[in-house]
Amino acid sequence: MKKIIISSLVAAPSLLNAGLVPMADQELQTVNAQAGITLETSSHLTVGDITYTEDANRLQLQNIERGSQADISLPSSSKQVVDVLADGSLQINSEVYPTSLSIGAIRINDTAASFGQFRLNYSGTNTIKVGASSSLDNFLEGSFQTSISDAELIWTTNGSSVSFDDIGYNANITRLAIGEAVDGSRTGLNFDLDEFSYSFSTGGVKLGGVSLGTLAGQLALSGDAQIFAGGRDGAEGISLNASLSILDDPTNYVRFTDDGNSLFMGNFSGALNVINLTFDVMSDHLLLGYDQLDGSFNANQILIGDSSNPVGAIQLDFLFKDGNGYSNRMAFYPGIRQPVYANLPVAIQPYATSFYSGLNSSSDGISAAVEWNLANAEAAYIDNGRMVVVSGIESYGRGDLTLDVRSFDHDNNAGTADKTAIAMGMNRVQGSYSIDGLRVGNKTAPIQGGAELLLSLEVFQAMDFNLDGYTLITAGGVSGGGIQIDGDYLFSDTNIGLSIDENGNGVWATGVNYDMHLRGIQVDVSNTGLSVNRTEQWSTMNIDNMRWGDKNSGRSLGRIQLERFEKGSSLTINPGGSGAVCVGASGDAASCASNGGRWEDRGNEGMTVALKAAFAPEGPTSDGSIARNRLTWENNRNLDGSGNPINGTGTQIIFDSYSTSDGLGVADTNDYGFQANLKIDVYETKVAKKFTGADDNGIIGNQGDELIYDDASRTTYTYVANPTAAQLALRPQGFAVQGNVSFKDLQIDQVQLKHPDVALPQTVFSGIVMQNLNMTTNLTATPIR
Domain co-membership, 667 together with 702 = no
Q: How far apart are CA 769 and CA 558, in angstroms?
A: 28
On whether the CB atoms of residues 475 and 465 are closer than 8 A, the answer is no
Please give the angle made by the CA atoms of 273, 274 and 278, to the nearest 5 degrees. 165
User: Which of 124-133, 354-363, 428-437, 449-458 is predicted least confidently?
Assistant: 449-458
In a domain, 358, yes or no: no
Is there a domain that residue 496 lies in?
yes
List of residues 6+ apart from 149 with CB closer than 8 A: 122, 123, 124, 168, 169
Residue 379: inside a domain: no
- Backbone φ and ψ of 349, nearest 5°: -55, -45
Cα–Cα distances (Å) from 49 to 10, 64, 111, 117, in that order, read 11, 7, 14, 14
Q: Which helix (H) or strand (E) holds 13?
A: helix 13-16
423 Cβ contact partners less than 8 Å away, ≥ 6 residues apart: 355, 402, 403, 404, 405, 406, 408, 470, 471, 472, 473
Whether pLDDT at 675 is above 50: yes
Q: What's the CA gap between 23 and 25, in Å, rounded? A: 7
Same domain, residue pair 614 and 722: no
Distance between CA atoms of residues 340 and 352, nearest Å: 10
521 and 668: one domain? yes
d(CA 420, CA 159): 10
Final residue of a structural domain among 277, 305, 321: 321
Over the chain, what is the mean pLDDT?
90
Are 564 and 608 contained in the same domain? yes
The β-bridge partners of 609 are 573, 678
Spatial separation of the C-alpha atoms in residues 758 and 507, rounded to whole Å: 32
Query: Which residues are within 8 A (CB) of 218 and not within 5 positions of it... i.e. 6 or more apart?
Result: 197, 198, 199, 200, 251, 252, 253
| Whether the Cβ atoms of residue 301 and residue 78 lie closer than 8 Å to each other | no
541 vs 590: CA distance, rounded Å: 49
pLDDT digits (tens, 9 = 90+) for 168-220: 999 999 999 999 999 888 899 999 988 889 899 998 888 888 888 899 999 99
Rg (CA), the chain: 31
| Whether the predicted pLDDT of 273 surpasses 90 | yes
Rounded to whole angstroms, how far apart are CA atoms 782 and 59?
A: 56
pLDDT at 359 over 60: yes
| Rounded Cα–Cα distance for residues 641 and 173 (Å) | 70
Q: How far is CA 177 from the centre of its chain?
A: 34
Residues 281 and 422 in one domain: no
Local structure of residue 27 (DSSP, 8 states): H
d(CA 660, CA 564): 12
Does the pLDDT at position 632 exceed 90? yes
How far is residue 282 from each of residues 58, 109, 570, measured CA to CA in Å? 8, 9, 46
**Which amino acid would we find at residue 620?**
P
> Is pLDDT above 90 for 449?
no
Residue 33 banded pLDDT, cuts 50, 70, 90: very low
The residue length of the chain stands at 785
Listed residue (519, 609, 484) closest to 213, CA to CA: 484
pLDDT tops 80 at residue 676: yes
Alpha-carbon distance 49 to 106, whole Å?
10
Residue 378 lies in a domain: no
Task: Encode 442-481 in three state secondary structure.
Answer: CCCCCCECCHHHHHHHCCCCEEEEEEEEEEEEEECCCCCC
Range among 332-346, 473-487, 577-591, 707-721 rated most confident: 332-346
260 shares a domain with 134 = yes
User: What does the buried/exposed string (b/e) look like for 768-777 if buried means 16 or more CB atoms within 10 Å of the residue's CB?
Assistant: eeeeeeeeee
Mean pLDDT of 233-262: 92
pLDDT of res. 324: 87
Give the pLDDT confidence of 63-107 residue by residue, as tens digits.
999 999 999 999 999 999 999 988 888 999 999 999 999 999 999
Q: Is the pTM of this model over 0.75?
A: yes
Quick check: 415 pLDDT over 70?
A: no
CA 5 to chain centre: 38
Which alpha helices (H) appear in 312-378, and where do they start and end?
Answer: 349-355
Whether residue 12 has pLDDT greater than 60: no
Over pLDDT 70: what percentage of the chain? 92
Q: Which residues pair with 683 in a beta bridge?
A: 734
Categorize the per-residue pLDDT at 17 as very low, low, confident or very high, splitting at 50, 70 and 90.
Answer: very low
CA separation (Å) from 189 to 53, 62, 174, 181, 756? 21, 29, 19, 5, 74
From 298, 321, 344, the end of a domain falls on: 321
Q: Are 198 and 171 in contact (CB under 8 A)?
A: yes
What is the pLDDT at residue 489?
Answer: 98
Which of 302, 321, 340 is the last residue in one of the domains? 321
User: Which of 105-109, 520-524, 664-668 is the most confident on average?
Assistant: 105-109
Cβ within 8 Å of residue 426, ≥6 positions away: 399, 400, 401, 467, 468, 469, 470, 471
Half-sphere exposure for 629 (CA within 13 Å, toward CB): 16
Q: How far separated are the first and last CA of the chain, in Å rounded?
A: 65
Do 560 and 700 lie in one domain? The reply is no
In degrees, to the nearest 5, what angle opens at C-alpha 622 toward C-alphas 621 and 625? 45
Concatenated DSSP letters of 573-592: EEE----EEEETS---TTTT
- The dihedrals phi and psi of 779, each to the nearest 5 degrees, come to -125, 140
Q: Is residue 46 part of a domain?
A: yes
Residues 354 and 517: their CA atoms lie apart, in Å, by 14
Q: How confident is the model at residue 146 (pLDDT cuts 50, 70, 90)?
A: very high
Helix (H, G, I), strand (E, B) or coil at 129: strand
pLDDT for residue 666 is more than 70: no
Closest CA to 594 of 609, 604, 584: 584
Three-state SS letters, 197-225: EEEEECCEEEECCEECCEEEEEEEEEEEE
CA pair distance 318, 293, nearest whole angstrom: 8
Which amino acid is it at 315? Q
699/557 same-domain check: no
Does residue 691 share a domain with residue 598? no
Integer Cα distance of 603 and 593 in angstroms: 19
Q: How far is CA 708 from CA 315, 688, 781, in A?
A: 27, 10, 16
CA distance 420 to 325: 40
d(Cα 74, Cα 380) in Å, to the nearest integer? 55
Q: Which of 116, 105, 108, 51 is nearest to 336 (CA)?
A: 116
Yes or no: say if 657 and 627 are a contact pair by the CB < 8 Å rule: no
Mean pLDDT, rounded, for 410-432: 81
The verdict on 670 and 696 lying in the same domain is no
Closest to 401 (Cα-Cα) out of 424, 423, 422: 424
**In this structure, what are the phi and psi dihedrals at residue 126, rounded to the nearest 5 degrees?**
-140, 145
Summarised one tens digit per residue, pLDDT across range 677-706 is: 999 888 888 888 989 999 988 999 999 999
Same domain, 694 and 741: no
SS percent in the chain: helix, strand, coil, step 5:
5, 65, 30
Q: Given this model, what pLDDT does residue 591 score? A: 93
Burial (CB count <10 Å: 0-12, 13-18, 19+), residue 696: exposed
Residue 672's domain comprises 418-432+451-682+736-767
Flag whether 21 is in a domain: no
367 strand-pairing partners: 333, 402
In a domain, 297, yes or no: yes
Q: How far is CA 138 from CA 135, 382, 522, in A?
A: 6, 43, 53
Q: Are residues 719 and 761 in the same domain?
A: no
pLDDT of residue 13: 46
Domain count, the chain: 3
Residue 447 has pLDDT above 60, yes or no: yes
pLDDT at 30 over 60: no
CA 739 to chain centroid, in Å, comes to: 27
HEC sequence for 756-768: CCCCCCEEEEEEE
Max avg pLDDT among 254-268, 492-506, 588-602, 739-753: 739-753
Residue 409 lies in a domain: no
Q: Exposed, middle or buried: residue 213 (CB in 10 Å: 0-12, 13-18, 19+)?
A: buried
Q: What pLDDT does 16 receive?
A: 43
- Which residues, including other chains, have CB under 8 Å from residue 349's CB and lie 6 or more apart? 341
> What pLDDT band is residue 419 in, cutting at 50, 70 and 90?
confident
Confidence (pLDDT) at 18: 46
